[in-house]
Amino acid sequence: MQQIVNFLFKNSMLLLFLLLLGISLSFTIQSHSFHRSRAITSANAVTGYTYEQINKVELYFSLKDENDKLALENAQLKSLLFNKKDTVLSAVPVNLGIYKVIQSKVIANSYSRQENYITINNGANSGIKEDMGVVSSQGVIGYIEKTSAGYATVITILNRKFRLGAKIKKNNHFGTLTWNGKSTGFAQLIDVPRLATVVKGDTIVTGSESTIFPENIAIGTIEKVYIDKKTNYYTLDVRLFNDMTSLGNVYIIENKDRTEIEQLQQATAPTNE
């Protein structure tokens, strides 16, 4: 007993070091795992409050840009509305009713790392839950990873964990949207079948099988086409419509039928995992 106590006492520094190292390493590894979300996020009261205060100051410097963007979006919506003046009621698709939109604001944005997140100033209190889609007036941004009472973190397109089913608008060929970690202006659409005719400049939009996003939300345009030698699929460089380095107002999309669809899919899929 005496010897154990002596040993612990003599090596207390080393043991404490190993303990702390173990804790922080497990946080790190957990944060890189695809299947589990991080334990340490900026969606908590302290960091959320701090970022909100900083954002209040920063907001004054980008007021003009934000106003321009919102005015532009207003104009687009107005033109949609005016063009459908006499058919407003019947022109609304039946399935539009399943989506609910919540407005929010980005208070912290990162884009210089391999795994980038943004923090928004609405959380569980505003009805935001995990895995809701986040878009701006120009297109897809990402989806919610974690929420606290007043804040939420978002995995953006600029994150190596990000996966989204997307398609070429013109001919409905599907692929998976990922990011290779190189440029903030471009994402990659992988696994596009060679049957598809891809032309530089074609628009990429969200696919119909996603339960997070509605169909046909803009993502970007095709910039470059590569042929993957190993799999004979196309890999496309997609120029994003959004400037991911300057984000202001965003919208969170809630799919009210999501849990129902997922339960149904889980009940149907064979359990071979």
Partner 1 sequence: MNSTVIINILRFILLLVIQVVLNKLDLFGFLNPYLYILFILLYPVNGNKTVLLLSAFLMGLLVDMFMDTGGPHATASVVLAYLRPTFFKFAFGVSYEYQTIKINDRLSPERFTFILISVVTHHLILFLLEVFRFSLILTTLLHTLYTTIFTLVVCIIAIYLVKPAKQ
Here the tokens at position 197 are 């005719």
Of 130, 132, 150, give the one whose Cα is nearest residue 140.
132
197 touching partner 1, by CB under 8 A: no
Residue 114: CB minimum distance to partner 1, A: 5
Q: How many CA atoms lie within 13 A of 50 on its CB side?
A: 5
Residues 156-195 that bind partner 1 (CB under 8 A): 181, 184
163 three-class SS: coil
127 touching partner 1, by CB under 8 A: no
Cβ contacts of residue 72 below 8 Å, gap of 6+? 137
52 touching partner 1, by CB under 8 A: no
Rounded-to-integer distance, Cα 195 and Cα 217, Å: 24
230 touching partner 1, by CB under 8 A: no
Of these, 38, 161, 167, 173, which contacts partner 1 (CB under 8 A)?
Answer: 38
Here the tokens at position 135 are 């878009």
Rounded-to-integer distance, Cα 58 and Cα 53, Å: 9
Query: If binding means CB under 8 A, how many residues of this protein chain bind partner 1?
Result: 41
Between residues 99 and 111, which has the closer beta carbon with respect to partner 1? Answer: 111
Residue 239: CB minimum distance to partner 1, A: 17
Residues lying near partner 1 in the complex (CB under 8 A) are found at: 12-13, 16-17, 20-21, 23-32, 38-42, 44, 46-47, 50-51, 54, 58, 108, 110-115, 117, 119, 153, 181, 184, 245
